[in-house]
Amino acid sequence: MMYDPGFRPAYPAWRAYLERARSSGETPVRIAIEREDGRVSVFETIAPAKDEDPASTSALLERVVKFLLWSRGGWRVHFLGPAAVGRRLRADYAEASTRAFDARTMAQVYERPFEVALHSAATFPEAREAVRFPGGHLDGCRIGFDLGASDYKIAAVVDGEPVWSEETPWAPGEQADPAYHYERIQAGLAKAASRLPRVDAIGGSSAGIIIRRQVRIASLFRSVPEADFEAKVKGLFDRLAREWDVPFEVANDGEVTALAGMLSLGERGVLGIAMGSSEAAGYINDEGHLTGWLDELAFAPVDLNPSAVRDEWSGDRGVGANYFSQQGVHRLALAAGLSFPNGMKLPERLEQVQALVAGGNIQAARVFEHIGAYLGHAIPWYEVFYGFRNLLVLGRVMSGPGGRTIVDRAAEILTAEYPATAARVRIHLLDERSRRVGQAVAAASLPEIEGGRP
């Protein structure tokens, strides 16, 4: 039984588009995304030279731009290609148009007005990437924390080994007072410190967009008034760093997911995906470097069905947050005929579905099979934009037997429908403990202790 019969995975449409472009005589397309400090990421593809379906070309290339925007991050899109496509992109990402959320959010994150610039070959910018080494510093007594939408995890770590860890439920998105967030983070740090002989460094993982340790935007703080956000949330981690007076680093939870993968697997070229309250992602390239990209795949498209579920935050349809998260579990569970008590929140609904799977409920098990099918179809699409060879999946949705079902079903889809990708990419599921608290332990390794261990 199909719980989402209208699902239209992006990659088969992309593959058909490229075949159409090549058969008609191709013309080059170049798309660049410009972010902070003049960094530029360039993506090259093709378009039909003699286009018999320009509307489909524009629609699909808009999805590519949307994916690039949320995977790379930036305040300016540079486009070189068919003039009609460029004009359509400029119109779509204009104020009050269909992609106004994306344009407005990028302007807020990068603190620059958003724009789409149309180019000739002579004016198109060259790539200017930045790479940096991730954490992986294991020496000394460290605290690591991971801030999610429904719980936060914290760990005390000595020379790379966790000596204590804890998960604590919280509801940050419902709290308008920034003191709620500060006090709970501070209390968690103090509790972890009490398990250590000293604190040499603190590293954190947080949902949202973090640039230079500053919170630019995050659903964790969505109830905080704008003035309070600017005054008390944006520099929250800087304040904690001053108060603790030790090396203190905070990264986007997706980056820490990828770091956890590299540390756990001993492999580079890792795309990490955490399925929790939303979809977090991070990427470490084949050289073992972080790219500085945004990696907010929660807003990247995976389903081209024009009637796909609409994301409540961005207003767009078919984006990852509604497929690889507890939201996706909830949506599929309802389609499967499962019911929940009124007032039960999504984290508890996820736990109920997982308990049903553990008890042998077939409808509940199929929920995770469907998520596995989503993932299997998404992997070759993700590979269009990332050069990964290892896919690490973790997060609350991956807990229990449902996590194994997701991985097994994704592998089946890959082998049957995308054998070339299946030959290149390995899917990894960490052990149960690492899936739940490994993020905090990896975050602890972010700061470097100057001069080594005291």
Same domain, 291 and 384: yes
Same domain, 164 and 151: yes
Question: Three-state SS across 51-62?
Answer: CCCHHHHHHHHH
In a domain, 300, yes or no: yes
Same domain, 93 and 214: no
The pTM score is: 0.88
Query: Last residue of some domain: 254, 274, 291?
Result: 254
Into how many domains does the chain fold?
A: 3
Residue pair 367/3 in contact by the 8 Å Cβ criterion: yes
Tokens of 35: 């972010």
Same domain, 250 and 260: no
Same domain, 273 and 285: yes
Question: CB within 8 A of 349, min separation 6: which ones?
Answer: 326, 329, 330, 333, 340
In a domain, 454, yes or no: no
In a domain, 446, yes or no: no
Question: CB within 8 A of 42, min separation 6: which ones?
Answer: 30, 31, 32, 125, 126, 127
Query: Last residue of some domain: 236, 254, 272?
Result: 254
Same domain, 20 and 37: yes
Residue pair 73/293 in contact by the 8 Å Cβ criterion: yes
Same domain, 280 and 424: yes
Q: At what angle do helices 178-193 and 236-244 cross, to 10 degrees?
A: 30
In a domain, 136, yes or no: no
Same domain, 241 and 293: no
- Tell the residue number behind the tokens 């008390």, with chain if given: 232
386 lies in which domain range?
A: 256-439
- Count other C-beta atoms under 10 Å from residue 109's C-beta: 21
Distance CA 317, CA 299 (A): 9
How much of the chain is helix, strand and coil, in % rounded to 5?
45, 20, 35
Same domain, 87 and 28: yes
In a domain, 377, yes or no: yes
| Pairing verdict, β 151-158 and 40-48 | unpaired
Order of all β-strands in the sheet with 151-158: 161-169, 151-158, 141-147, 201-206, 248-252
Q: In b/e form, how buried is each residue of 316-346, taking b as 16+ CB within 10 angstroms?
A: bbbbbbbbbbbbbbbbbbebbebeeeeeeeb
Same domain, 274 and 407: yes
In a domain, 165, yes or no: yes
Nearest-Å Rg of the Cα atoms of the chain is: 22
Task: List, run by run, the mean pLDDT of 10-residue segments along the chain (454 residues).
Answer: 90 98 95 95 97 96 98 97 96 94 95 96 94 84 90 92 91 93 95 97 90 87 92 95 96 84 87 89 90 92 97 94 97 96 94 97 97 98 96 90 97 98 93 58 90 52
In a domain, 250, yes or no: yes
Tokens of 359: 């008890």
Question: What confidence score (pLDDT) does residue 431 get?
Answer: 63
Distance CA 384, CA 396 (A): 27
Same domain, 165 and 280: no
- Tell the residue number behind the tokens 């070759």, with chain if given: 380
Query: Last residue of some domain: 254, 280, 302?
Result: 254
Distance CA 448, CA 140 (A): 10
Kindly report the CATH number assigned to the domain that includes residue 238: 3.30.420.40
Same domain, 74 and 148: no
Phi, psi of 406 (to 5 degrees): -60, -50
In a domain, 178, yes or no: yes
Greatest Cα pair distance in the chain: 70
